[in-house]
Amino acid sequence: MDQVAVVVPLQDVMRELIPDLLGYFLNRLDDREDAADAVADTLLVLWRKERAVPAGTEDARRYAFGVARKILLTARRGRRRYTASEVRWRVDALEQTEWKRGGRWGGLS
């Protein structure tokens, strides 16, 4: 027996996905605001690529979580980049402070 895909408007599918997507991102990101931003980014991609989203509810859900996975990877990559630059900035600030105080870096001159 063939399964028939139930066609539901994308807006309805997206509305139903919001709690599940938020839970997905909350479990994987530390910050609630980052998770909410990731949900918004996912929904934006789905809306922009509406023609690429499969017609069936379950297929659309799988597609949406595939998009969510890519959004998550991008968010994590951005966070690592931010964290590394933040660490460099803090080390530079510490070195400058120690230099001005004549601390352990002061003997290098």
Per-residue pLDDT of 58-83, as tens digits, reads 999 999 999 999 999 998 887 765 66
Q: At what angle do helices 10-28 and 32-48 cross, to 10 degrees?
A: 150
Rounded CA separation 53/61 (Å)? 9
For 47-63, how does the pLDDT look when each residue is reduced to its tens digit (9 = 90+)?
999 999 998 889 999 99
User: HEC profile for 6-48?
Assistant: CECCHHHHHHHHHHHHHHHHHHHCCCHHHHHHHHHHHHHHHHH
Q: Domain spans of the chain? A: 10-102
Measure the CA–CA gap between 104 and 7, rounded to whole angstroms: 69
Which pLDDT does position 23 carry in this prediction? 96
Mean pLDDT of 22-38: 93
Percentage of residues in the chain having pLDDT higher than 70 = 65
Percentage of residues of the chain with pLDDT beyond 90: 50
Q: Is pLDDT of 40 > 90?
A: yes
What pLDDT does residue 77 have? 82
Q: Greater confidence, 30 or 54?
A: 54
Greater pLDDT, 58 or 85: 58
pLDDT at 32 exceeding the cut of 70: yes
Token pair in block for residue 32: 């609630």
Decide which of 54 and 8 is more confident: 54
